[in-house]
A and B are shown apart, each in its own frame.
Chain A
């Protein structure tokens, strides 16, 4: 019986393991292809960008590009499906956009931040998100900046603490709410546990909260819908899922929190084909696959008649331990349900297959 039960649950299969000669910080599927990119830092302090192709049960290296500065993060979020330009953020605070066909010179480059760009996200490209293609970067210098690849040098929006206030290290940024031409929000997570939600339409801070521990990763379940859910993971192993549909004037958004493991949760990524399933990657080299279940009523009236959200519940679909080192990056293939790549600090990149995701 337990065998039958186990068979119904999704299984995580480690399809390919590829050892690397450098520290990998981020890995990304190239949209509409079976290729993936690994970004990182070589031992001699330069940046590495490797393009692999998945062929059968191995990864074939197509191209290796070396750049002067270690590359921390990358995104395809703001490029068109035809172009597939990669935007990267490096240790020196540079935002570069690369044409992978001709990677010698960036097609766009700006020294966006004074310090390392920890996190990058894009929207408006790939058919995901209405409105202009934009890139957001979050940096150790405490600022979060939004860029339009069509505008050189200066950001279209800049979110920073007021002068005199201590600057927090911004660890993670994410776009969301881009369901029409005007609406768009940016969510940023900081080392002190702050989560801030910036509304780009009204250019205002829409909401902020503190989850007590450094926020390692935030992601909306989908960027291109009326914002629905936000997952924020933290340094001490807890993560919060906020229901972003209903904002209470004082209580903000309802949330449910769950502790996945004792170590840091480095990354959260929602399944592109089903927004209610997401994977978290942990400091102990483990992956947890979760499903969010909505409550019967997503909002209710409080005593004063204000609408307030009701959080749902989480169920653990599967967990596996791949490595003893933290898994720092995770990316689902946008084209093939269940195909997933993750990079860990044991200098290995793994292609995973998660089965039975369409049966949940």
Chain B
């Protein structure tokens, strides 16, 4: 209706108030307008009704403002107080019963105190401070330096009329020097630097109840101070509370504040007091562990954490801390110590903790451990989240992700810098570019995945390596993959030692080992060792790509730009398609020009000329280039192989480019087809998979997108694009937990990806909604489900890692690996018979909702026993779910089996949240329900009578 009337007013000029052009009172204008102030004015005009009444337009305007500025004042409306109808029956009951119990408590208390009243005279009077020394006046006008001081008259009552006769001048002259001095000083803050607060409260003459009140009050004051970061003040108030009534909770809070102040001794003392009172107090144990680890009593810290884990085996916080401390403990041990033993213990312990949690999320943790040299800072940070332990595992997981990024940043500045450099390279080598636009266009990816996995795959094929060394190497690869670079270095070193001691010269393998170790050093930021290893690798295998790249990166991070430039240039001679090398070379050129001026080239050593043989590996298509190919193969054969490769690679490249072009045109379907063809030619190429995943995302085929990302992540376990896209896919599948995890991983790899940050926030919010909606209704149940969810997605990860190991170490052909990677919740899965539990059911529903697949939904519903529907739905019934149910009932089931349709409808109405969801249905959706009933009333079944149907209709509020 608004639509029609607006053109009528067009040209009439402006509104009466605010003089807004009438044409602005339009859906289109409002949708586009970004000026909140202007929109608020429009809203006011619309609400006032002076230009006519357009409820829909007003609504649109409100929504737009809310979208732009959720805190806008224009959105505040007068609301009546809440009534029983705003709460669920349970909540309302809780509110009332809480009040009633308080009232009874108060009444009883009154009765008691009435009995006591006789024997509680004014005993506190004696302890009161004296009456303020004098009756004194001070003027409210500071500009006149007048002080009305009335001393000695204390005992002489003066009525008010006397004050009127009061001679200011005369009184002023009486003021003694002292007073004036103190006053003038006081005029501008004579505040002591630190407020002196009594540490003890005098409790003489207080009843027990008084004491409880006072102690609680002081504790609250402490909590408030803690909340805004005044830890010193918080400790003081906690001390005061303790001086009245010592309780474990307050000691515990005090310990936490003292930890924040790094007052370890007192914190330890307080933790111990808590544990004296409550020996099993988890918080206190956690805090004592923190203190011990800072006092470097690692063993005792570990004991405490183990105690926590024995009570709460699922406590992720404790597990993480345990790992950190163990890592620290290990790093303290001298390197010369027999490695075998130390390592063994460590591995066992990791296994222990893994079996304790039963999930394999240690990759990420290990990665942190690997890079985290100042876990002290991290630990302290972590304590903050331990504070909110009761929020449950889910929250903690999130917290930890949040923690991880800053803790990395806390490292020393130089380290940080080098890390940044490294991550830059890493990102680029993996074909990831930061800006959104670029990462969306499929072009930027390069054809050389820079990962150890591929190398190890190559190594597996080389027969020259003795079994022991091969084993050590694969172990090293494992460690590398899981981010334990220090461990990996040790393994590689052992392998190198072993190979050299054998005396058999197998330069290829040795070169690879050196190159791998160099990668570890690079990751650790140990650039000089990295360069050394690269040199060795290059001596053995000149012009192999990876050592050159790594040396270049190491040189660059050590600011030896000249050398880095040479190396990058050499790399580009070998393979000109390596984007990262190109970019880095360009960047370094700039730096060198800045450094050395226009004649910078003259100062550089000559770039070595790469022999043609080495250049031939250019279009090898995959990761198994230069160093993996045994050079012992005679040149003829190599050339032949290479010719084939080149042809295939050419075709591959063409197809991929075509795919990319389609992406640019927005024809994702076509693009996906092209990419699929690419995959037939070369399954190793990860970029094609990530690109196809992008297409699938655009086509809302989340399952498929996820599958592609999974595939990539098997190959490159830190492909940031794949993580990002998988996260989006999970989001589409409404698996917010998994989505949040993936986004966090993206941020872990590169904290600067703004999109991921944004998405993570959004997903966390969604997750929170899910969680809180559940929690609001049925606390325990909701929680349980989330935990299940967590386990689920971890399981999946674990499996992934398992498959990826297979693929890489055991040389399983990639084609075979793909079906393995098919996730459990594929669409085929939806057609299995009866869903076993509410969780699986929920997952299927989510998938259905995402795909809007009514047929599959009908399948699912037919397979489900109607009676179990309320149980299966649990409290997860949403409008969307209801709608898809109704639709599939209408289109697929009602015609075939009206009896079943009726049964399903009947039991659906018994589900939790049904009423709420029903109330939220829109008009159109209601109509669909109506249609369904209409359909049912026309068909006939012995399962129901028309009366039944009528009564059910009432339940559905029709």
Contact = CB atoms under 8 A, between A and B. Distances in A.
B18 interface: no
A131 B106 CA distance: 28
Given A208-B142, A321-B79, A133 B773 contact: no
A100 interface: no
Interface in B357-398: none
B78 A82 contact: no
B210 to A, nearest CB: 5
Interface in A122-169: 127-128, 130-134, 142, 144, 146, 148, 150-163, 165
B138 A154 contact: no
Interface in A6-33: 6-8, 11-15, 32-33
A67 B613 CA distance: 111
B41 interface: no
B410 to A, nearest CB: 17
Contacts of A210: none
Contact of B141 (A33, A161, A183, A226): A161
B637 interface: no
B95 A13 contact: yes
B103 A55 contact: yes
Nearest to B129: A132
Given A203-B138, A319-B79, A339 B190 contact: no
B138 A205 contact: yes
Interface string A54-79: 11100000000000000000000000
Interface string A335-354: 11001000000000000110
A3 interface: yes
A159 B147 CA distance: 10
A11 to B, nearest CB: 4
B197 A180 contact: yes
Contacts of B110: 33
Contacts of B86: 6, 11
B910 interface: no
Contact of B83 (A13, A148, A159, A222): A13
A130 B137 CA distance: 22
A160 B139 contact: yes
B186 A32 contact: no
B158 A153 contact: yes
Interface in A222-260: 222, 224-226, 247, 249, 259
A163 B79 contact: no
Contacts of B103: 34, 54-56
Interface stretch (B213-221, B440-448, B492-500, B807-815): B213-221
Contact of A148 (B82, B131, B209, B225): B131
A81 interface: yes
Contacts of A286: 78
B195 interface: yes
B182 interface: yes
Given A200-B132, A319-B76, A14 B81 contact: yes
Contact of A4 (B128, B209, B776): B776
Interface in B897-953: 916, 920
Interface stretch (B117-125, B615-623, B798-806): B117-125
B78 A203 contact: no
B129 A181 contact: yes
B129 A34 contact: no
Contacts of A183: 195
B954 interface: no
Interface string A268-292: 0000011110000000101000000
B577 interface: no
A339 B137 contact: no
A198 interface: yes
A294 B228 CA distance: 7
A259 B73 contact: yes
B136 interface: yes
Given A202-B186, A203-B138, A114 B160 contact: yes
B140 A160 contact: yes
B836 interface: no
Interface in B46-93: 71, 73, 76, 78-83, 86-87, 91
A346 to B, nearest CB: 14
A179 B195 contact: yes
Contact of A157 (B82, B132, B158, B233): B132
Interface residues of B, number: 86
Contacts of A196: 140
A276 B83 contact: no
B107 A321 contact: no
Given A132-B129, A225-B221, A335-B106, A159 B137 contact: yes
Chain B CB within 10 A, most for which of A15, A163, A208:
A163
Given A134-B132, A206-B189, A247-B189, A81 B160 contact: no
Nearest to B142: A205
Contacts of B141: 161-162, 165
Contact of B102 (A83, A194, A336): A336
Given A154-B158, A200-B132, A274-B220, A13 B140 contact: no
B89 to A, nearest CB: 14
B48 to A, nearest CB: 14
A206 B217 contact: no
Nearest to A13: B82
Chain B CB within 10 A, most for which of A56, A82, A274:
A82
A22 B147 CA distance: 43
B40 to A, nearest CB: 13
A154 B195 contact: no
B604 to A, nearest CB: 47
B122 A83 contact: yes
Interface in A184-237: 188, 194, 196, 198-206, 208, 222, 224-226
Given A204-B183, A352-B81, A158 B220 contact: no
A153 to B, nearest CB: 4
A146 B131 CA distance: 11
A80 interface: yes
A80 B122 contact: yes
A83 B110 CA distance: 13
B17 interface: no
A55 B106 CA distance: 11
Nearest to B770: A4
A345 to B, nearest CB: 17
Contacts of A225: 221, 225, 233
B124 A132 contact: no
A355 interface: yes
B769 A1 contact: yes
Nearest to A158: B137
B142 A157 contact: no
A300 interface: no
Given A11-B82, A127-B210, A154-B135, A226 B129 contact: no
A5 interface: yes
B183 A202 contact: yes
A127 B213 contact: yes
B81 A320 contact: yes
Contact of A336 (B99, B117, B185, B209): B99
B916 A3 contact: yes
Given A11-B86, A180-B198, A200-B132, A162 B168 contact: yes
Interface string B186-207: 1111110001111000000001
B23 interface: no
B80 A321 contact: yes
Closest 9 pairs between A and B when the two form their complex, measured CB to CB = A202-B186, A156-B132, A11-B82, A14-B81, A153-B157, A4-B773, A321-B78, A34-B106, A158-B137
16 contacts: A1-B773, A4-B769, A156-B132, A157-B136, A158-B138, A158-B163, A162-B139, A162-B168, A165-B141, A188-B140, A203-B183, A204-B187, A205-B187, A319-B79, A320-B78, A320-B82
Given A55-B103, A179-B195, A259-B73, 13 more contacts: A7-B776, A8-B776, A34-B106, A54-B103, A82-B117, A132-B129, A144-B140, A150-B131, A156-B136, A157-B135, A165-B141, A204-B186, A225-B221
